[in-house]
Amino acid sequence: MKTESRLEKVLTSGALAVTSEVGPPRGVDPEIVKTKANMIKDHVDGINVTDNQTAMVRMSSVAAGIIIKQMGLDPIIQMVTRDRNRLAMQSEVIGAAAFGIDTMLCLSGDHPKFGDHPMAKGVYDIDSIQLIQTVKNMRDEGKFQGGAEMKGSPKMFIGAAANPFADPFELRVMRLAKKAKAGVDFVQTQCIFNLDKFELWMKGVEDRGLDKEVHVLAGITPMKSVGMARYMKNKVPGMDIPDEVIKRLSGVTKEQQPEEGIKIAVESIERLKEIKGVHGFHIMAIEWEERVPEIVEQAGLYPRPEF
Amino acid sequence: MITAEQKPMQEIIQYIAPYDKILLIGCNECVTVCAAGGRKEVGLLASALKLDRLKHGKTIDIKEITLERQCDPEYVEELVATIDDADAVLSMACGCGVQTIAERFNKKHVYPAVNTKFMGASQSQGVWVERCQGCGDCMLGITAGICPVSRCSKSLLNGPCGGTSNGQCEIGPETDCAWVLIWERLKALGLESRYEELVEARDWRPAGGAGPRKIIREDLVL
């Protein structure tokens, strides 16, 4: 074991892992974080805390992560290279580790253009792969990116994102290979709706033996409505939503659409469980955290293993 | 080349409002090629400024001159004969030209008439696109001749983010994904394996941020 991460323990045991996420509030109330975390705590092995997602200012992921950690739970802090340079990111990693946070996700982040500060300058001193290298170097070598020795290194279980659906498809397995080479321990994928394409990607991952180097957690998002599905299809970059999903949701009444969305999510998990290299699931229920437990239960992923 | 665009007329008019005798200076280099501040644009701007004064029942004396290279002290020296007559200088060169004049004639009021934009190339008639950020440590040798620093919206050095769709950047359909272009070209050149080489975190010092960057060529220094 490289770390004390609960997620690492679950994955190492061979059990299918389950993670989900909490978006921090756009204000100072810690109760919002606690309420959301409490909704999912018994059904997941780790709680992602997003970092200014969609480039909107929110409570910092490390601060919200500390709140969750102090509840006795297991935050997975996300860190985007858009908002900080390498000094700031390394100091945040140290700060998080000082509060016992042991799992994180290295991301490049949505472009500032999408958020409420489109006039902001993106930092991008390093990219997500270089952040993986940086954190791994801190953890395993006890050294800063600049080369100096640290006094006490952060034991982080290192994650990243993988999007099998973005262009060009043929590069997407190689991109995972690059993250593996950089030292990533696990990836959470973009929301999967096109299962055929995901299976094709996973075949490429398994053919190269990458599933033995990196734990792949399949991304699952329940659709609340056909409107949400259409929005994601047309407006969210890098999202692949087949017409059948839209057709299925529009085939039921508006009132039944949330249930249908949950059903699709559960069916997807059932099918994805059959793939050897899929080691767990990351459930992104956007502003719908309260429905995560029933998805986990219906998919046969409850109770969660105890450590 | 360095590209530029003329500033909004109102901004230029405000700059020169206190003066009656203006020396309007173009440059025969980059800003001529991108049609922002060459001899022709100097003529057009002079006419427009005179017309604006006339509309308000006033006149202005604008002397036009276009230097071979406004960023070169040797050519800027040519202004010695004329600059004393002017109350102020309005320069249509890039920021380098404006500063060369300000530095040489330190008692003269100097104003820019263009916004300097970027280092770019001509894509088609009337269209220029950014191609270089002058990062000081050129990567084109490992990225198949396509620059991720200036052409990827996040300057990512190890491949495309998850926002690429249909070969376009997540910021919009106007922008090609630099990494899709790099990948296509690596493939065409049979250099696919190069993609998987990790690019370590860059040393950005050559890109600036510690005062003006400088080149000293000992073999040329007098």
- Window 181-200 of B, Cβ < 8 Å to A: 183-184, 195-196, 198-200
* Inter-chain residue contact A168 with B165, CB threshold 8 Å: no
Distance from CA of B131 to the nearest CA of A (A): 18
What SS3 string covers chain B? CEEEEECCHHHHHHHHCCCCEEEEEEECCHHHHCCCCCHHHHHHHHHHHHHHHHHCCCCCEEEEEEECCCCCHHHHHHHHHHHCCCCEEEECCCHHHHHHHHHHCCCCEEEECEEEEEEEEEEECCEEEEEECCCCCCCCCCCCCCCHHHHCCCCCCCCCCCCCECCECCCCCCCECHHHHHHHHHHHCCCHHHHHCCCCCCCCHHHCCCCCCCCCCCCCCC
pLDDT of residue B156: 97
For A93, the 3-state DSSP assignment is: helix
User: Within an 8 Å CB–CB cutoff, is residue B76 touching chain A?
Assistant: no
pLDDT level of residue B218 (50, 70, 90 thresholds):
very high
Residue A145 vs residues A80, A110, B130, B138: alpha-carbon distances, Å? 17, 24, 31, 22
Tell me, yes or no, whether B175 lies in a domain: yes
What count of other Cβ atoms lies within 10 Å of the Cβ of residue B118? 16
Give the distance from residue B168's alpha carbon to the nearest chain A alpha carbon, in angstroms: 8
Judge whether B154 is closer than 8 Å to chain A, CB to CB.
yes
A213: number of Cβ within 10 Å:
16
Q: Which residue of A has its CA nearest to B154?
A: A124
> Does any domain span residue A305?
no
Q: Is B197 a domain residue? A: yes
What average pLDDT score do residues A144-148 get?
Answer: 98
- The answer to whether residues B168 and B114 belong to one domain is no
pLDDT at A202 over 90: yes
The number of folded domains in chain A is: 1
User: Residue B21 forms beta bridges with which residues?
Assistant: B61
Residue B19: its pLDDT value, please? 98
By percentage, how much of chain B surpasses pLDDT 90? 99
Question: pLDDT band at A307, cuts 50/70/90?
Answer: confident
Domain count, chain B: 2
Q: Which residues pair with A143 in a beta bridge?
A: A149
Residues 163-222 in A contacting B (C-alpha not used; CB under 8 Å): 163, 166-168, 171, 174-175, 177-178, 181-182, 190
- Residue in A with minimal Cα distance to B155: A124
CB contact under 8 A, B177 and A134: no
Chains A, B: CB pairs < 8 Å: 102
**Structural domain contains residue A1:** no
Mutate to test the interface with A, among B149, B153, B168, B170 (most CBs of A within 10 A): B170
Chain B contact present for A161, CB below 8 A: yes
What confidence tens digit (pLDDT) does each residue in A2-50 have? Answer: 999 999 999 999 999 999 999 999 999 999 999 999 999 999 999 999 9
Cβ separation of B158 and A163 shorter than 8 Å? no
Q: Scanning the structure block, which residue is given the tokens 């309260």?
A: A290
Query: Do the Cβ atoms of A237 and B164 come within 8 Å?
Result: yes
Do the Cβ atoms of B159 and A171 come within 8 Å?
yes
Residue B221 lies in a domain: no
B193 in the same domain as B113: no
Report pLDDT for B134: 97
Domain membership flag for residue A137: yes
> Which pairs with CB-CB distance under 8 Å and at least 24 residues apart come from B55-60?
B59/B20, B60/B16, B60/B19, B60/B20, B60/B21, B60/B22
Q: Which own/partner contact pairs does B8-12 have at CB distance under 8 Å and 24+ positions apart?
A: B9/B48, B9/B52, B12/B45, B12/B49, B12/B90, B12/B111, B12/B113
* A235 part of a folded domain: yes
Q: Per the domain annotation, does A74 fall within a domain?
A: yes
Task: Give the domain range for residue B64.
Answer: 2-118
B108 and B163 inside one domain: no
In a domain, A304, yes or no: no
pLDDT at residue number A260: 97
Residue A273 pLDDT greater than 90, yes or no: yes
Contact A108 B155 (CB under 8 A): no
Decide if pLDDT at A238 tops 90.
no
A125/B157 Cβ within 8 A? no
Per-residue pLDDT, B151 = 98
Q: Are residues B56 and B112 in the same domain?
A: yes
Given this model, what pLDDT does residue B210 score?
95
How confident is the model over B128-150, as a mean pLDDT?
Answer: 97
Q: Which of B160, B172, B200 sits opposite A171 (nearest CB)?
A: B160
Is B123 domain-assigned? no
Sign of CA dihedral A217, A223, A229, A231: negative
CATH number for position B89: 3.40.50.2300
Domain membership of residue B186 (yes or no) is yes
> Shortest Cα distance from A223 to chain B (angstroms)?
20
User: What does the CA dihedral B18, B24, B29, B31 come to, rounded to 10 degrees?
Assistant: 50
The answer to whether residues B42 and B107 belong to one domain is yes
Mean pLDDT of A90-100: 98
Mode of pairing for the β-strands spanning A157-162 and A186-191: parallel
A194: containing domain: 6-298
Distance CA A2, CA A13 (A): 14
The whole-number pLDDT of residue A246 equals 97
Same domain? For B77 and B175 the reply is no
Two structure tokens written together for B162: 């998850």
| Chosen domain end from B69, B86, B118 | B118
Residue A32 lies in a domain: yes
Handedness of CA B44, B48, B54, B60 (dihedral sign): negative
- Whether the per-residue pLDDT at B52 is higher than 90: the answer is yes
Tell me which chain A residues have a C-beta less than 8 angstroms from the C-beta of B170.
110-111, 114, 237-238
Answer yes or no: is B72 within a domain: yes
- Same domain flag for B76 and B180: no
For all residues of chain B together, what is the average pLDDT? 97
pLDDT at B63: 98
CB nearest to A167's CB, from B155, B167, B171 = B167
Task: Assess if residue B219 is contained within a domain.
Answer: no
Identify the band that residue B16 occupies on the pLDDT scale cut at 50, 70 and 90.
very high
Q: Within this chain, do residues B110 and B16 fall inside the same structural domain, yes or no? A: yes
- Residue B128 is assigned to a structural domain of this protein: no
Answer with the one of B83, B118, B153 that is the final residue of a domain. Answer: B118
Distance CA B132, CA B129 (A): 9
The Cα–Cα gap between A253 and A239 comes to 25
Contacts of B167 in chain A (CB under 8 A): 167-168
Mean pLDDT of B86-90: 98
CATH of the domain at A268: 3.20.20.220
Same domain flag for B16 and B109: yes
B105 in the same domain as B151: no
Contacts with B177 from chain A: Cβ below 8 Å: 167
Question: What is the percent of chain A with per-residue pLDDT over 70, rounded to a whole number?
Answer: 100
CA A5, A9, A12, A15 dihedral sign is negative
Contact between A176 and A162 under an 8 Å Cβ cutoff? The reply is: yes
